[in-house]
A and B are shown apart, each in its own frame.
Chain A
């Protein structure tokens, strides 16, 4: 593994984003809009929102926003056959995969970072468990999202119906990740660290997230050559 090459892929995409300013801004505005729509659907003015639906709101928002970013990670490369240039570049294809995953992770994490204060304000919730645990769940979830997301985005970019194919292909694969992330962050938000049952079920969900990340990273890493080759 050559970190320097991965770094160049990251640099290229970040530079592109800094100059064009197309993706992150749109993702952010979209996130805010989704949150407002959730507020309309679940909130009754004057009442507190039930804390059970907060983790669902968080992760559905992240999933939808992530989809926007993923569509931007390979489709623009098809203009002027840039994807061919990328595939011909003297780096292993798996380095391209790592670079793209890292870029997606950075974008998504940035959006999360900027939108969480807003979520807390809109829905008036507090993280009752340790913040570090919450960050751990967020990290594992976002890594998994970008890992499988970039892989399947590269796959669907090769088809004729790429933008509409991606969600249909991606959501079934994301389901265990979304389920684990929603449950784990729900446990942190409720937060009862003294309860051994709580601790046990929290860690079993975290373990599921970690196992998911490892499995799909390994498989995507091995199969990425075939996806970019065509």
Chain B
């Protein structure tokens, strides 16, 4: 009981932290950081774009790690982490794919380029959707967890291969990020770092919520089973 109280307190503090960092990030993006010279106000979408992209790829890494853990131990709680992480990742990949073209239109004057990172994000999105479709159509709980874990592993390994393939493919096109990193002004870099931190914290907050929902689902199913046993 005490432990639960402690957990609740910890969670409250964490929510406060997420809110604080997110609010700071918004302040930095919209009020503090200077506008980009040539692109103007549109460039601000860049912070959301990069933050969401980071979370999208990080979430899939979590899916990969917990899929392996699930297959190794066969414990339900690891599967819940993968499931929650995949759903959050899908949302953030969608954000990347929506903000990307908006930014691209204003800076490269085209909605879509087959640039390696953008293309890899698109394929990542397809893999996420396939992962969720497997979960939906797999039937019973254990089978769902197992098949999804297997696909979580193979899908994650596919992502770097896609990136390299698209990278080679687009060698003849202009590489927009070019040599390693973009040259960012220092206050822009700071804003970006805070935004990425905020998005990461938001991810963990959502992950906790997602896992809780899946746990409740499992409990409801257990109760349903017991009810069925009693009534039969």
Contacts and interface: CB of A to CB of B under 8 A. Distances in A.
Interface of A: 148, 151-152, 155-156, 158-161, 165, 168-169, 171-173, 175-176, 179-180, 183, 201, 204-205, 208, 211-212, 215-216, 219-220, 223, 226-227, 229-230
B130 A168 contact: yes
Nearest to A211: B161
B138 interface: yes
Given A219-B154, A220-B154, 20 more contacts: A156-B134, A159-B134, A160-B139, A168-B129, A172-B127, A175-B123, A175-B162, A175-B165, A176-B161, A183-B168, A183-B169, A201-B168, A208-B161, A211-B161, A216-B154, A223-B71, A223-B153, A223-B154, A227-B146, A230-B146
Given A165-B137, A179-B165, A230-B147, A219 B126 contact: no
Contacts of A211: 161
Given A165-B134, A208-B164, A216-B154, A159 B147 contact: yes
Contacts of A158: 138, 143, 147
17 contacts: A151-B154, A160-B139, A161-B137, A165-B133, A172-B158, A173-B127, A176-B164, A179-B165, A204-B168, A205-B168, A208-B164, A211-B161, A219-B153, A223-B153, A226-B150, A230-B146, A230-B147
Given A173-B158, A219-B153, A219-B157, A155 B164 contact: no
A212 B134 contact: no
Interface in B100-155: 123, 126-127, 129-130, 133-134, 137-139, 142-143, 146-147, 149-151, 153-155
B62 interface: no
A161 to B, nearest CB: 4
Interface of chain B: mostly helix, strand, loop or mixed: helix
Given A165-B137, A183-B169, A208-B165, A173 B155 contact: yes
Instruction: List the 4 closest pairs (A to B, CB-CB), nearest first.
Output: A176-B165, A172-B126, A161-B137, A159-B137
A155 B151 contact: yes
A220 B150 CA distance: 9
B146 A172 contact: no
A223 B165 contact: no
A165 B129 CA distance: 11
Contacts of A205: 168
A173 B21 CA distance: 37
A229 B165 CA distance: 33
A160 B162 contact: no
Contacts of A230: 142-143, 146-147
B206 interface: no
Contact of A226 (B71, B129, B166): B71
Contacts of B157: 215-216, 219
Contacts of B151: 152, 155, 169
Contacts of A165: 133-134, 137
Nearest to B154: A219
A159 B137 CA distance: 6
B165 A173 contact: no
Contact of A172 (B123, B138, B143): B123
A156 B71 CA distance: 18
A155 B134 contact: yes
A201 B231 CA distance: 69
A219 B150 CA distance: 10
A227 B147 contact: yes
Contacts of A148: 154
Contacts of B127: 172-173
A205 to B, nearest CB: 7
A176 B162 contact: yes
Nearest to B130: A169
B133 A168 contact: yes
Contact of B155 (A172, A201, A212): A172
A205 B165 CA distance: 8
B130 A155 contact: no
Contacts of B130: 168-169, 172
A208 B168 CA distance: 10
Contacts of B154: 148, 151-152, 173, 216, 219-220, 223
A190 to B, nearest CB: 15
